Each structure stands twice: as structure tokens, then as C-alpha cells.
Structure 1
């Protein structure tokens, strides 16, 4: 087959060469970025600047809170999990000066019924029915909860001290509330680690979040905190000073007419709010503490179990953080902050580079097969290209080892080994999410409204634990 003056084999060789240069250079930049992060983390560890404190969970669970705490949980079509979440949270946090605000849409009666069962007439739980049909955006639902809290403050004549955000599928830690209450004495925003739970029926798709969060919340967020860069909020296990949110609400009202501190049009309103608080001079802390048994004080939950749901969730994150974040937040004036924002927004570019790498792998296989068949190979890598390939291979081995180490620390050796085996699948999910995020962003540029493209949740960790106990009893 001839394509102009060149043969098909020569065209394939040219594609291999160009893709090799593109992927090799950008993979090298990624290696350098991660090595810098690893180096700072290792320096913090070896110099003693990074220490994980130990606490007694039971003592904190029954400790007194220094003020009123409001826990806000937006819920759209969460009838499968919201009841279990409320039952667990109410038991884990028996404190009297605690209020739960559950946001329900008026066209979602199933979630209303499930939340009512979970509340079980607990006077600390308030179900807030949104005055519009869902889904809008998570930020819009949170703003509705914020306005309901303001009304309650006026009625009680008592202001809330801390506002804590959680999702409808979360399993809270019994020590988290008192720990946050203490930490908020000297800052305006606190973020606890998020610890995905390995899913018993989805060891590859749902469980691949384990290594990503183990490394991100065990290293990247720790370094970010140590460098005093602005701290993004994860949307769960994040707490804000009441006065700080009041200030952010006033700013949002002046800038866009928003009816609360959360941007209604943002898909990652939590991430954005954390950075805006930092930009406004607010102090933040990433609170990494372990209990007496060595387990991390963190928010635990199951993550999406199917490929389609995982892609949708990561596409929403990528759309909100990379595309909307660039548009809405821009860049900072400091080198460290710009580095962190660049890391946050690299998702679409990483997806493109990964796609290039997989295309390169397929072309290389085809050319190798043709070479074995006797057609020859039109070109050979130069020493510089061999060096580039070698450095990237060493970098990949290092990255896989680091990911395995952080995963092993939280989940054990077997999960650490599976973390390495899940790397190709995680890359495929990232590529698919990057495409979906780009298309969604394109639609918003043409005037489409951002919607809550939320993840469907089918089961709760508490349900699985009870099921396991029942099977063992039988």
C-alpha cells in the first residue's frame, strides 16, 4: 500500500518517532514534577517536620464541643445510602451541640423518606426541602442549606461556630468532630483525609481510588500544607469557620449575586471555596492524625463500582478543577501556588499524554511484528531517545513503588500490590474522563448550564459490614 512517495511502513515509523518525542518529553516533565513532590515529602519526614500524632478516639468522641457545629449534607437521589449515613453519623457523634442539615429536592420523595428513617426523630436532624426541582448543582443545594442555617440562627439567637461538609455516602470517624473543633481555634478551614474503602465486589474499578487518595492525602496534601499553599477543600470532612463563610457569602453576593458562599455554577464548589479562603488571607490546615490503633482519622466511603460511573465522576472533577478552575480562579502570583494549581489542572493534559503513550505502544507492537515478518524497521532510536526512554522507565518504576508504598501503609501489602496492577486501568479511566470533561466544557462555552452530574451510590459500608457479620453468623 502506497501513500504518496512514502510507504505505509514509513508513515507508521514517522508516527512512532513523533509520538515518542511528544510522549517522552511530557512524561519526563511529569516525572520531574512528582520527584520534586517526593523529595519535599522525604525531606519533611527525615527532618522531623512531618509527624502524624496519635489520639484516643473514644475520649474525643465524648469530649465537649466549644460551640455549635452544623453538618451539611446535600442529597439528590440518595435513597440507597442517606439513611445509613445518618444512622452512623448520629451514633459516632452523640454531641448535643451538633446539627445535621440534609438537603432534599422537592421532586425526590424517595430520598426524603430514607432521610426521615435515618433521622429517627432525632431533634438534631433537620431535613431541608429545596424550593426547586433537582438536580441543580451541589453548590446550589449547599446554599439552600446555608440559608436554612441562617434562619435557625436568627430563631435561636445563637450563631453556629463551625460548618462541616459531608456527602450522603460518607462514614464519618468518631474522633473527627472533636478534633476539628480543637483545630479550628487557630485557623479558618480544616480538611481531614479521605480514605476510600476497598469495595468487596469491585476490586479493580472502585478500589483504584484507594491508591490515588492514599498518595494524594498522604503526601501531596501534606506537602501543600507544609508549603503554606492554598488548601483545596475535598467536599467531605472539610470544616469552615462560620465568620469566614459569612465573609465568603458577602463576596459571592457582590460578585455574582449568589445566595450563599458556594458558587452555584461551579462543579467543584468545594475545591474553589478552599482556594478562595486562602486567597482572602484565611488560614488552613490539613489535619492528619491516627487513632491509638494506628488507623487514620479520616472520612471513609465506597467509590463508584462501574467504569461508566468512575468516568463520570472523574470527568466532573476534571471539568470543575482544570477547566472551570482556570477560568474562574486564574493563577496566583507566587511560584509555589502556581505549581500547585498547575498540578491540580494537569488532568486533561495527562489524559492526552497517556492516550499518546497507548497509541505509541500499539504502533510499536505493529512495527515490531512487521520487522519480525521481514519488512525491516525504517529507523532506529538515537542515543538521546534511548536515554529519554530509560529515564522515563526508571521514573515509572519509581512512581509505581511510591504508590505501592503509600497504599500498603493504609491498606496492607495485598492492596499495595493490586495498586500497581491497577495502573493501566486507572490510566484508561483518566483518558475517558478527559474526553468527557472536554466535551462538557465545550457545551458550557456554548451556553449550556452546569448540572450536578452526580455519582449514583448503591450501597453503604455499614450495610456491607452488617451483611458480612450475618453471613459469618450463619
Structure 2
């Protein structure tokens, strides 16, 4: 081995040591950032445990039934959703434990197949309505929602009613039977209500879809709760979001008749801040029911919490393959990091700025995690060389002879163990112990997905020169293969109990006079 080559390797190792110190320092700062959120959550949980839940009973579904039903509108944008939106609307219309609501599905004039899918549902369910957007698709989700709101306003004038809540859902969502009762209970005192989102867990080897499970379980189980407690601001998830009539009216007035920003790729995220700036009341509602029949079907697994697993939430499938996941996440990054920074800027409130930083730190944090993983692979390769070829030339380890690096590695190790515990805990409480254990290896996979999604987002913005010029990139949706509704329809139950006859049931269903069947 020549002296020049030995000198080269020595300089490389010296550079790797300096890089390791820088990376370890930055990872430590990010770890402290996450630790702060963890401490806030658990301290808050302990305080509420001994000061609130010891003195008052937990709220359950009983109080939701006590509030008279207010008119609610569900908005579902749909472009190229054949076989998805029809099943979603059909399942929602047949299982939601609420009567005074309408579903408006936004379609496009150049998408006749999706229109036919919606028409088939409209024939059987009179509270499902098809909306045809003014422009051919695909435009953007925000544009489709604006067309739906226009149709809702016309429906109100024709029917002479006023909707108390406007609920946002996607075509692949599975809606909880008690969701509308929860929104009805909180309206009109709250202007934006967000409920948790829990993705369907894939098979164990589906790490791409599985990393969504981990991220949403921790984010909607802990992070958003802390955010609401410290700032009073709640970001919309784009699904399971209810806007009050006052909120929609304010947005329409501000936008001169246009509620959602058509150039925003994350109109849901943007709108949460706009409502906060207007002094509106936003809430993240984690509300559990005690009756399993009123919760979304959820198989019991070891480690699950009955209280957590029966929370009123939205469930859906997320992308299973690498390409679609990167496309979806890059859209989120462009909308939240680039467009959000440009349009929203920063707040005058320190606490809200802190969470804005957390929203936008991904562009930096995932690059850092990727470099750390690469450095780890280099160190493992060097260690394998010493194991396979013990007589080979040996260099001093870059991890030795540096008290600073050693201390940082120990501290980061402790923070990593805490990070794995936090994520595993929140995944386990809803999905069970097996999924909680899988969250550890999936964490590294999520770093790679998020890193390449950041690269794609950065490339799109640099190529176009303006984040607001990036086109809406639709995600392919999949509706869960669910069985028929578990509950017997009300009409059949009334017949079984002898209250009405089959003929009376048919007359009630086909009568042009709308009234509650139970009466």
C-alpha cells in the first residue's frame, strides 16, 4: 500500500470524523425539539388525569344523541375515481348514524365514468348529489371544492335551508358512523373541527404504506394535541375536517366568492392558518365511543387500547408503492414548505412560529437523516472489512479519541430510544403490539421516502422558478374491501318488531314528503 494512498485514506477518515461531529450535533438539536413535544404531551396527560378525569366522567356517545340534528353537508372532490367514489358514497349513506345531511360529489365534464359511478348512487340515495365542475379536469382539489361550495349554496336557496357545517372528505375515506353527530355536537361553537386520521395497516412487509400508519398515529395521537394546547391552531388534514357556516362565510367574503386557494397544493393546511388569523375557534377532537357497534370496525389485537381504538376517526388506504408515495409527499412538501412559507410567512406569535418551524424543518431534517444513514452504512462497511480481513491495514476509528463525539453519540442514542418508544407506543395503542414493533424498522424506511420526496419537491420548484406554478399531482386512491354494513337497516328492524309492514316501509321510502322513518 503506497504512502500516498494511506495519506488519502487518513484525510478521508479525518473528514468523516468532522462530518460525524456536525451531523451528531444537528441530530441532537432536532432530538431536543422532538423531546420537548413529548414532555409537553405527557405532562399535559398527567395533569388532565388527576385534575379532570378523576373529578369528571369521560364524555361518551350519550351526549352526542342529545343534541338536535343540524343540516350538514359533506364535500367529496372526485377526479378519475371510478370504483372508489361510488363505494365511498354508498357506504357513507348507508352507515352514518345521522339523518339531516347531504353528500355533494364534485366531478368533471370530461370524466363521464366517474359521473356514471356517482349517478348510480344518486338513484338509490336521494341525499347524494352530483356536482359537475365548470372547467375540465384535472384542475386542483381546491378548485373542485369551490365548485362544490357553489352547488351547496344553490341547494340551500332551492331547499330553503342553511347548512351548519361543511365537511371535507376524499373519495377513498371510510367515515365513522358517529362522525356527523360529533360535528353536530360541537357546532356552531367551533369553527374548524379536525378528527384523527388512521390509515389502514398493510401486510407486514408493506413498509411504504406502513410508514403512513406510524406517522399519522404519532402525529394525531400526540403532536397535534400539543399544538392545539400551546397555540390554539389546528392544521386540517384535508379529510375529516368540518367548517362552520361562519368559517365558510368568512372565507367566501375574503376570497370574493372563492373559499379555497386554487393555486395551493395543500389548501387544507393553508385554510387552518387563515381561520386562526380571523380569530376563529379551531379544535382537534379525539372523542371515543363506548359501544363498539358505533365505532369503525377494528379487529382486536394485543396491546391495543379500547378507548383509543374506538375513537371517532377517518380511515383510508395510503399509497402502497414507492413512486406514488413520493408523488403524494412531494405535493405536501411543495404546499406546506414552499408555498406555505411564501404565502403565510411567519406569525407574530412565538409559539405558532415554533410549530411553523416544525412544519417546514422536514426539508432540512430528512436530508440530515439520509446523510446519517449513509454515514452509518460507511462505518458498518469499514467494520466488516476488519472482521472479514483481520490482517488488513487498520486505521484508527473515527469514533475514538473525541469526547465531544462520544458524548453526542450517547445522547443521540438515548433520544433515538425515546423516539422509537414514542412512535411504537402510539402505533400500538391503535393498531396493536405487532404494528408497534414494526414501526422501528419502518422509521428508517420513512427517512428514505421523505428524503426522495423532498428532492422531487425541490426539483419541481427549481425547474418552474415559483412554487405556486407546480401543478396538482393527484394520488391514485383505493377503497377498502369492506363487507356490507354490520347494522340492520332501520326499516327492517321496525318490520321485525311489528311496528310497520313491508308495504308501509315501501310507501315511506318512496313518498315525496321527507320525514324521519322512525316516526
TM norm structure 1 = 0.90
Q: Which residue of 2 aligns with 1:88?
A: 91
The DSSP-based 3-state class of the residue aligned with 1:48 is helix
Whether 1:283 and 2:298 are equivalent positions in the alignment is: no
- Note if contact 1:83-1:119 (Cα within 8 Å) is conserved in structure 2: no
Q: Which residue of 1 aligns with 2:184?
A: 181
- Note if contact 2:106-2:144 (Cα within 8 Å) is conserved in structure 1: yes
The DSSP-based 3-state class of the residue aligned with 1:30 is helix
**Deviation for aligned residue 1:121:** 3.5
Q: How does 1:60-459 map to 2 (within 5 A)?
A: 60=64, 65-93=68-96, 95-200=98-203, 203-253=206-256, 259-292=257-290, 293=292, 294=306, 295-369=310-384, 373-377=392-396, 379=398, 380-446=400-466, 449-458=469-478
**Deviation for aligned residue 1:391:** 0.5
CA deviation digits over 1:88-133, x for unaligned, max 9? Answer: 1101225442111101111112211222233343221111111212
Rounded to whole Å, the distance in 1 between the matches of 2:325 and 2:4 is 44
Rounded to whole Å, the distance in 2 between the matches of 1:25 and 1:118 is 57
- Note if contact 1:237-1:299 (Cα within 8 Å) is conserved in structure 2: yes
Rounded to whole Å, the distance in 1 between the matches of 2:3 and 2:90 is 67
Rounded to whole Å, the distance in 2 between the matches of 1:310 and 1:243 is 35
- Note if contact 1:225-1:231 (Cα within 8 Å) is conserved in structure 2: yes
The DSSP-based 3-state class of the residue aligned with 1:47 is helix
RMSD: 2.5
Q: Which residue of 1 aligns with 2:43?
A: 43
The DSSP-based 3-state class of the residue aligned with 2:209 is coil
**Deviation for aligned residue 1:74:** 0.4
Evaluate the alpha carbon distance shift between residue 218 and residue 196 of structure 1 in structure 2; reply closer, same or farther with a 3 A threshold: same
The DSSP-based 3-state class of the residue aligned with 1:408 is helix
Evaluate the alpha carbon distance shift between residue 101 and residue 4 of structure 1 in structure 2; reply closer, same or farther with a 3 A threshold: farther
CA deviation digits over 1:195-247, x for unaligned, max 9? Answer: 11112486322122112111100101111122233211111011011121111
Rounded to whole Å, the distance in 2 between the matches of 1:210 and 1:328 is 30
Evaluate the alpha carbon distance shift between residue 368 and residue 66 of structure 1 in structure 2; reply closer, same or farther with a 3 A threshold: same
* Larger of the two Rg values belongs to structure: 2
CA deviation digits over 1:174-194, x for unaligned, max 9? Answer: 111011111123221110011
Rounded to whole Å, the distance in 1 between the matches of 2:232 and 2:344 is 15
The worse-fitting range, judged by mean Cα deviation, of 109-118 and 302-311 is 109-118
List structure 1 segments (4+ residues) > 6 angstroms apart after TM superposition. 1-6, 49-52
TM norm structure 2 = 0.83
Evaluate the alpha carbon distance shift between residue 357 and residue 201 of structure 1 in structure 2; reply closer, same or farther with a 3 A threshold: closer
Unmatched segments (≥5 aa) in structure 1 = 254-258, 467-474
Rounded to whole Å, the distance in 1 between the matches of 2:25 and 2:449 is 22
The worse-fitting range, judged by mean Cα deviation, of 2-11 and 219-228 is 2-11
Residue-pair matches, total = 458
The DSSP-based 3-state class of the residue aligned with 1:205 is helix
Evaluate the alpha carbon distance shift between residue 54 and residue 84 of structure 1 in structure 2; reply closer, same or farther with a 3 A threshold: farther
